[in-house]
């Protein structure tokens, strides 16, 4: 490790880290926002569920590098546009989270739903104030997977040139220089652990009735 | 892009699509084989004895956040001076492919064995099956659906990461994307991406068919559905 190199480049590395953070988090947030209504729809309708999950599985199959390259063709963006990465990762997150949300809603016991209805909850308030909060642990588990794998996939975008920590890997190979590569790997792992802990913390805050320590 | 596909020069020679496809498949199958040889015995053992569940779950989670591109590049630089010729990038790439494929296969095998109905295991024991007989005659066949889903996840990881490994000069369809990027030839990149996508979908479909053929019909609902 050449620490003086790290020190000299720290400004650029911080920039790349922030890009990486944004590119990992933004798609998961958009994916979650879209997945909530779609997951609800999937949980209620078997036909929508099977067709959507089938289509999502198909999209999920396509390797990320291929998706980064093909999206400009669909969106009309330039190959370097970070939007391609955001859209590609949103697709992955959505494919994962719709299933998660619908599983989460499925996990709510029918007794609870009956009790809520008996207490006078109408359909929408019941969904928002009873079903969704109870589904939080399952949804959080899906979010953890989505956010952690995103951190790893984002670095692949370095091969098309989008700015994020992956550029340290390509730079390291070109220079035959280990320092940026190790720094990039460590920062990726750190970011993944950080985001994972954040999801856990938020989920914990949202479900105060859950036993501690999980 | 259609013009790219119709150009016969892209379909022959050492950089032609067929050669790249064969390379991609060779590396992928090799990695899948090695990963299965490592992961399945561990999964079987852990599923059968329930020892070490926490370790393999933790391992699978930790590996998920490891940036594969960074790992490949790191190993290439470390191994570069050790190996001569092509092995300098083939060995590191294969190590990473295997590393990424082991967790899904391991957890799939473990989960499959652990989820087998205890009544079936007891019945087999009552019929006089020995422990190994139970493992291979009862638990393994019952676990096949989950084992296949693990293999499926692993294969997708491998095909996807083999594409990335083209960056460190590994052959395969990723070459079209990487070289296209270097030469600013978007159509070649797009053609490569389409081919990689089709390969992934095709392999996924193939595993689906194999799993359908090899899973005992008694475990699926197909017989019941056919009868009713």
Q: Judge contact between B67 and B3, C-beta under 8 A.
A: no
Q: A146 by DSSP, 3-state: which?
A: helix
**Yes or no, beta carbons of B70 and A185 under 8 Å apart:** yes
- B188 closest CA partner among A59, A69, A158: A69
A192–B contact, CB cutoff 8 A:
yes
Summarize pLDDT for B143-199 with one digit per residue, the tens: 999 999 999 999 999 999 999 998 888 888 999 999 988 888 888 999 999 999 999
Q: What's the mean pLDDT in B115-122?
A: 89
Nearest CB neighbour to A64, from listed B70, B160, B192:
B160
Summarize pLDDT for A179-206 with one digit per residue, the tens: 999 999 999 999 999 999 999 999 999 9
| Lowest mean pLDDT, pick from A21-35, B48-62, B128-142, B169-183 | B48-62
Q: Tell me, what's the pLDDT at B8? A: 82
In this predicted complex, what is the ipTM? 0.85
**Yes or no, beta carbons of B66 and A172 under 8 Å apart:** no
Helices (H), B115-173: 118-126, 131-134, 140-165
Q: Tell me, what's the pLDDT at A23? A: 94
Tell me how far apart the alpha carbons of residues A214 and A210 are, in angstroms, rounded to a whole number: 8
- Identify the sign of the CA torsion B33, B38, B41, B46: negative
Please indicate whether residue B37 or residue B60 has the higher confidence score (pLDDT).
Answer: B37
Quick one: pLDDT band at residue B228, thresholds 50, 70, 90? Answer: very low
Q: Which residues of B touch A (CB under 8 A)?
A: 1, 61, 64-71, 73-74, 76-78, 80, 156, 159-160, 163-164, 167-168, 174, 177-178, 181, 186, 189-190, 192-194, 196-197, 200-201, 204
A160 has pLDDT over 80 = yes
B57 has pLDDT over 90 = no
For chain A, the average pLDDT equals: 90
Tell me how far apart the alpha carbons of residues A165 and A147 are, in angstroms, rounded to a whole number: 16
Please indicate whether residue A72 or residue B15 has the higher confidence score (pLDDT).
Answer: A72
A60 has pLDDT over 80 = yes
B42 has pLDDT over 50 = yes
Helices A10-44 and A166-175, packing angle to 10 deg: 130
Q: Judge contact between A137 and A209, C-beta under 8 A.
A: no
**Strand ranges inside chain B, DSSP E:** none
Q: Tell me, what's the pLDDT at A209? A: 84
A214 has pLDDT over 50 = no
B27 has pLDDT over 90 = yes
The pTM (predicted TM-score) of the whole model is: 0.87
Angstrom CA distances, A23 to A20, A82, A85, A180, stand at: 5, 8, 7, 20
Substitution target in B60, B65, B78, B186 with the highest count of A β-carbons within 10 Å is: B65
B1 has pLDDT over 90 = no
Nearest CB neighbour to B67, from listed A73, A152, A159:
A152
Q: Tell me, what's the pLDDT at B222? A: 59
Contacts of A188 in chain B (CB under 8 A): 65-67, 70
Two tokens at A177? Answer: 């220089």
Contacts of B58 in chain A (CB under 8 A): none
A58–B contact, CB cutoff 8 A:
yes
Q: Tell me, what's the pLDDT at B88? A: 80
Give B126 to chain A, closest Cα distance, Å. 36
Contacts of B69 in chain A (CB under 8 A): 155-156, 158-159, 166, 169
Two tokens at B178? Answer: 């990487």
């Amino acid at each position: 490790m050449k620490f003086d190199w790290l020190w000299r480049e720290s400004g650029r590395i911080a920039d790349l880290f922030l890009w990486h953070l944004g590119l990992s988090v933004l798609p998961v947030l958009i994916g979650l926002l879209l997945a909530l209504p779609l997951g609800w729809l999937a949980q209620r309708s078997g036909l929508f569920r099977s067709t959507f999950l089938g289509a999502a599985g198909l999209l999920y199959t396509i390797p990320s590098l291929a998706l980064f390259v093909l999206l400009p063709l669909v969106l009309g963006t330039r190959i370097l546009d970070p939007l391609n990465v955001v859209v590609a990762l949103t697709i992955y997150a959505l494919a994962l989270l719709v299933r998660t949300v619908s599983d989460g809603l499925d996990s709510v016991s029918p007794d609870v739903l009956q009790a809520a209805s008996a207490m006078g909850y109408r359909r929408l308030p019941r969904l928002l104030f009873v079903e969704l909060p109870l589904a939080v642990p399952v949804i959080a588990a899906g979010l953890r997977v989505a956010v952690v794998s995103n951190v790893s996939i984002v670095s692949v975008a370095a091969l098309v040139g989008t700015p994020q920590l992956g550029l340290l890997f390509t730079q390291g190979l070109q220079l035959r220089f280990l320092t940026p590569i190790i720094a990039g790997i460590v920062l990726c792992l750190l970011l993944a652990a950080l985001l994972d802990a954040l999801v856990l913390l938020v989920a914990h805050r949202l479900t105060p009735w859950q036993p501690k320590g999980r | 892009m259609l013009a790219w596909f119709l150009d016969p020069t892209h379909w022959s020679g050492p950089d032609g699509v067929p050669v790249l496809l064969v390379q991609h498949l060779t590396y992928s199958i090799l990695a899948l084989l090695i990963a299965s040889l490592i992961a399945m015995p561990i999964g079987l053992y852990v599923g059968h004895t329930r020892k070490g569940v926490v370790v393999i779950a933790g391992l699978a989670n930790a590996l998920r956040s490891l940036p594969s591109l960074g790992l490949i590049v790191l190993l290439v630089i470390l191994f570069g001076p050790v190996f001569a010729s092509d092995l300098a990038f083939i060995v590191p790439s294969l190590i990473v492919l295997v590393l990424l494929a082991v967790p899904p296969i391991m957890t799939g095998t473990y989960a499959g064995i652990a989820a087998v109905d205890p009544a079936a295991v007891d019945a087999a024991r009552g019929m006089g099956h020995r422990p190994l007989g139970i493992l291979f005659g009862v638990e393994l066949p019952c676990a096949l659906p989950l084992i296949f889903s693990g293999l499926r996840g692993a294969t997708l990881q491998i095909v996807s990461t083999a594409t990335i490994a083209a960056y460190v000069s590994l052959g395969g369809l990723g070459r079209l994307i990487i070289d296209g990027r270097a030469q600013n030839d978007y159509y070649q990149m797009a053609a490569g991406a389409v081919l990689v996508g089709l390969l992934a979908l095709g392999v996924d479909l193939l595993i689906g068919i194999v799993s359908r053929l090899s899973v005992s019909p008694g475990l699926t609902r197909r017989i019941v559905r056919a009868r009713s």
